[in-house]
Copies of this chain bind each other. A is one copy, B any other.
Amino acid sequence: MEESAKDKLPRATAKRLPLYLRNLNILEAEGVIRIKSREFAEITKIPSATIRRDFSYLGELGRSGYGYDVPYLIEVFTALLEANEKKSIAIVGFGNLGRAIAKNNFRRNDNLAISCVFDNNPALVGKEITGFYVYDIRDLKRMVQEKNVSVVITTVPSENSQIVVDEIVASGVTAILNFSSDRVDIPKNVNMRYIDLTTELLTLVFFDHHYKNRPLVVTT
């Protein structure tokens, strides 16, 4: 695919790519080498028309009546998501949530690896906790360069969120996953993604009450 096609992908389509790739990898592991959009819709809970339209942006990935070639889709989507390139990830805030993420350490994807973790708590800094040496938050900029960090996950509470995000931005990282839901100011070149459990839960409760018998789409 040309660079230009990639850059013209609708954002809604782009957001579904990781979900597609995840499910294709599961299918391949189960020995499935070909899949029709209708079958894939059942698995992903995304309407088959949406799947066909999404895939159409990416070129000739399948034929009508034949279905899609699973290994080929994986190849295309992996390249697109750069899922085969090593990403060095840092965690700021090494309480329960930080440790849970570190312990999981993206087992599903060998190319995502947590390379360093930070906290400002003197009781944690300088210690090794669940296999990770805890750096002082003041070492962030130096370690980002040393470990070639491209994504930072912050789990610090909302009252410190802006300060920490400012430090992350100052370190040169432009991709931040934020578990504190309060909005913070970031420069235009920085991409931030918030994960807010309260919002997730309220959405779930709402759908549970108002959309009975129409299961919720499983994207995150």
Contacts and interface: CB of A to CB of B under 8 A. Distances in A.
Interface of A: 6-7, 9, 11, 14-15, 17-19, 21-23, 26, 43-44, 80-83, 87, 89, 95-97, 99-101, 103-104, 106, 108-109, 112, 130, 150-151, 153, 155, 174-177, 181-183, 186, 188-213, 215-220
Copies of this chain in its oligomeric complex: 2
A192 B210 contact: no
B205 A218 contact: no
B22 A199 contact: yes
Contacts of A208: 150-151, 174-175, 191
A186 B216 CA distance: 11
B201 A216 contact: no
Contacts of A14: 203, 206-207, 210-211
Contacts of A108: 181, 198
Contacts of A196: 18-19, 22, 220
A21 B206 CA distance: 13
A205 B100 contact: no
